[in-house]
Amino acid sequence: MLTTQINLLKFVNKVSMTKMGSKNGVTETDPRFKLLEKIVTEEMAEVALALEYRVHLTAEEIARKCKKPLERTKELLWELAMAGVATVKREGEEDTYWYETWVPGIFEMVVNNKENTAKYPEIGKAFDDYGLMRNPIAAGNFPVGLGLMRVIPIESSIDGSSRRASSEEVSKYINEARVLSVSDCSCRTSREELNQGCGHLKEDMCIQLGDAAEYYIRTGRAREVTKEEAFEIIRKAERDGLMHSIPNTEGDGHTHAICNCCGCSCYALRAASMYNNPDMVRSNYVSTIDETKCVGCGECVEVCPTNAIRLGHKLCVKDEVKVSPRTEYPRDTEWGPDKWNPEYRTNRKETLETGTAPCKTDCPAHISIPGYIKLASQGRFEEALAMIKKDNPFPAVCGRICPALCENACTRSGLDASVAIDDIKKFIAERDLHSDQRFIPEIKKSYDKKIAVLGGGPSGLSCAYYLAVEGYQVSVFEKEQEMGGMLRHGIPAFRLQKDVIKAEIEILKTLGVEFITGVEVGKDITIKELREKGFQAFYVAIGAQKGKKLSLEGEDAPNVTSGVDFLREVSQKEPAAPLGKTVVIGGGNVAIDVARTASRLHHEGVQMFCLEERDSMPALKDEVHEALEEGIAIMNSYGPKRILTENGKAYAIEFMRCLRTLDENGKFNPLFDPKDCITVEADTILLSVGQQIHWGDMFKGLEIEIHPNGTIAVDPQTLQSSIKDIFAGGDAATGPKYAIHAIAHGKEAAISIHRFVHRGQSLVYGRSNKVFVSVDKDAVDFSGYDTVSRERVYTVREETETFGFSDPRGILTPEQIRNETMRCLSCGISVVDPFLCVGCGACSTRCKFDAIKMEKVYDAVGVDFPELKPLIVKNVLKRKVRIAKKKVMRKILG
């Protein structure tokens, strides 16, 4: 059905330089028409038709053209200016009006009328649809540097030796502007209306200059800022991994805005990422990697807006770490959907298919291990600590208790021995613990939003830390009287001193996190009541603090206790009664902690019994070694049959020989020999055969999905539960795992919650999938490397006792740190795809080793919009010739 808004359709065609009703004419189904359909009346459109492209006309001149009374014309012009269709400027005593291009121009100005955009969803959708319509047409047809929007490098990334005020430096535009303003980002505003936000929020993102700033300020789209404020906005954007682009339709060295963009929401950058057409937006620069300096820490990969940088490996025998040479480009190839990447916001890749450094890959938190080791080798310990804390706020804790999965994976283990990664981390963290000025991360913003964390263990505290850094008001609810969870109550002091936990947690207090102890959610206060108090999201992170039973005869005797209960009791006070003959059942790490703790108390011998053979015990080999060294007897391949009691008290336990733990399908299915039994006397029996979560009344009245094993069902990436405002991680979602797994979950939950509490944000778009691939160590070439002994920590025992509750392990000396950090092979490397790189320089701001340089490979300059069409036509003709030649050559070559 033909629209009744004929004047509006005429105006849309006028701006589009098309003829209404012609083959290329704009119709009422076009996004350009949809953008204005709800906000421009026919009478407004009559006046709009009298406007000219960038010709400043007074209201009186426009009134004569549209044949309307002057006062009414002024009213309608102001309505057009407020809507975003007309631009207005005060010149002398009068206002002048004109219209801009669609993009950058009318689309952004219309979307930045917040009231209209929120009222009419069609506006946000039209902005998205326009890009989806135009970008495929543009692929390959725009010459380099002549796109309507263009990336401008982060200024610090450009070689300072040739510094001058140029069109490729942000400071030029800010310093030359007579007035400046800052507004919301129009792309992110549109994405928000479509519920496609990426967590990079829209507020205070785009800086306007000159006439544009005056218009934005006057129409309420922006607030005026000083030059100093503008530079601070730029600094914070760069800190947060954003890049810059400018409208590119006013000629070289001229623009009306500086955008602080991300690759996951920016519609201009979509040309590069979705349509694989970076020429449309690229700067004159391309990132290059110095292989001799790059350590493969991956910091640059995280901020690359187009996923042009990935992690590889530089010790491979095969030369497969480079990006495969490209043979097709939009410049000389027909560029259709088969060349696009429509899922670019959800399929980012961290590594090449051939893999990267195993330490970063196998670390559950994917910490930049090669980076902080290199920084430590250079004596840059504060920077090393900051790099660690970006992904793990508790390095002093983890340096003492981490299972060191990174060390197990270390490439160097194929040469001599793995690098002492945990000891290096511990040294870095220890310096901070004893520093007069502890490392405190910069709080990014300040949000008037309250988040509740339920559980004060490693996962909950990790989530609280990262939310506090983002700027949220975080309260941690803990039913015990002290924070720390299983760190404090489940790990013995001889492995993790309580003062270390306290020191790490102190930083959260400095960041403003509120600790509420002695409160059990569900009993003392409910989630419903917390919602009523203004909490907008919840992270459930209570640990698996309840021991499992075996359904054995006699296990309810008073001297049969779960291992975790025993550890909690000892952490609070030493048991008054002697343990006597003590038997620990279980072969995991907790069982080892239980046995080693019992051996430090009044006892008459401690024995461990477990189903597995010695080499297949679930406990870490180092932990088993420590237990044996302390005189604990470990009896392998035995499982409990029954507990013998007398007068209600256990006095012995009967064990059966375990013939196997796994069946032919690899499932846990122990097989026993009932004829091969032994009876062991025991005064104390400690069951350490697994842990489970005790929810109490936390979810009473809430229909949250719980797995049969007692864990909360959550999305594996976002950690969101079946109740939208409740997220869960750590043991609560996975069951018992290591602290580093819980810490990693805490950060991911913070990312999700940040997005959840803001309108229109997706929990997945633009988010790292954290899918790292480890290099095949069998393909590593160690030729040219000498074997070097690993540095060892000296253990100090107290003179008065052989094994006490103080941690006897020391730390590496500064000399040992120098030696050990040099053993790192820096086997990873960042690899740039020069085609996908748009030359923003964000990667260089993250590199701590001067390994990334911005090389100028193009020499393009922007042109004024009227001059653009002939240049595009010329390029289109040349491209057709290149495509035709390429097809001919393919036929000739077969």
Distance CA 540, CA 310 (A): 34
> What is the pLDDT, as a whole number, of residue 578?
87
Sign of CA dihedral 172, 178, 184, 185: negative
Round to whole Å and give the CA distance between 632 and 635: 10
Residue matched to tokens 């005790």: 694
Distances in Å between the Cα of 118 and the Cα atoms of 76, 112, 193, 194 are 22, 10, 7, 11
Residue numbers of the chain with a pLDDT score lower than 70: 1-3, 159-165, 317-325, 576, 796-802, 894
One-letter amino acid at 131 equals G
Q: How far is it, in rounded angstroms, from Cα 369 to Cα 883?
A: 46
CATH dotted code for 546-692: 3.50.50.60
Rounded distance, CA 550 to CA 554, Å? 10
Longest dimension (CA), the chain: 110
**8 Å CB contact between 270 and 184:** no
35 class by beta-carbon count within 10 Å (0-12 exposed, 13-18 middle, 19+ buried): buried
The single-letter code of the amino acid at 247 is P
* Model pTM score: 0.95
DSSP state of 103: I
Asked whether the domain spanning 546-692 has the same topology as the one spanning 1-99, the reply is: no
Per-residue pLDDT at 162? 46
Tell how many helices (H) and how many strands (E) occur in the chain: 32, 28
Separation of alpha carbons 188 and 205, rounded Å: 9
| Residues belonging to the chain | 894
- Look up tokens 């102890």; give the residue: 517
User: CB–CB of 612/578 below 8 Å?
Assistant: no
In 3D, which of 236, 245, 256, 199 has the Cα closest to residue 54? Answer: 256
The angle formed by the CA atoms of residues 347, 719 and 517, to the nearest 5 degrees, is 145
CB 38, CB 22: distance < 8 Å: no
* Tokens coding 295: 């350590």
Amino acid 164: pLDDT: 56
Which tokens sit at 840?
A: 């923003």
Coil, helix or strand for 172? helix
Q: What percent of the chain is helix, strand and coil (3-state, nearest 5)?
A: 35, 20, 45
Using CA atoms, how far apart are residues 201 and 189, in angstroms rounded to an integer?
A: 9
Q: What are the start-end ranges of the H helices in 511-645?
A: 527-532, 563-572, 589-598, 621-629
- The answer to whether 266 and 259 are in contact (CB under 8 A) is yes
| Cα 365 to Cα 389: distance, rounded to the nearest angstrom | 11
pLDDT of res. 747: 98
Structure tokens at 133: 């319509």
Q: Which residues pair with 601 in a beta bridge?
A: none
What whole-number distance in Å separates Cα of residue 730 and Cα of residue 365? 12
pLDDT tens figures, 690-741: 999 999 999 999 999 999 999 999 999 999 999 999 999 999 999 999 999 9
Tokens 């392998």 correspond to 636
- C-alpha atoms less than 13 angstroms from C-alpha of 734 in its C-beta half-sphere: 18
CATH architecture of 1-99: Orthogonal Bundle (1.10)
- How many Cα neighbours within 13 Å face the side chain of 196? 17
**How confident is the model at residue 326, as a pLDDT?**
80
Residue found under tokens 């102001």 = 78
CB of 325 within 8 A of CB of 746? no
- What does the pLDDT read at residue 894? 66
DSSP class per residue in 765-808: TT-------B--GGGB--TT----PPP-PPB---TT-SS-SS--
Query: SS3 sequence, 202-257?
Result: CCCCEEEEHHHHHHHHHCCCEEEECHHHHHHHHHHHHHCCCEEEEECCECCCCCCE
Which sequence spans correspond to the domains of the chain? 1-99, 101-346+843-894, 546-692
Please name which of 250, 27, 224 lies closest in space to residue 149, comparing C-alpha atoms: 250
Phi and psi at residue 264, in whole multiples of 5°? -95, -10
Please state, in angstroms and rounded to a whole number, the distance separating the CA atoms of residues 152 and 166: 11
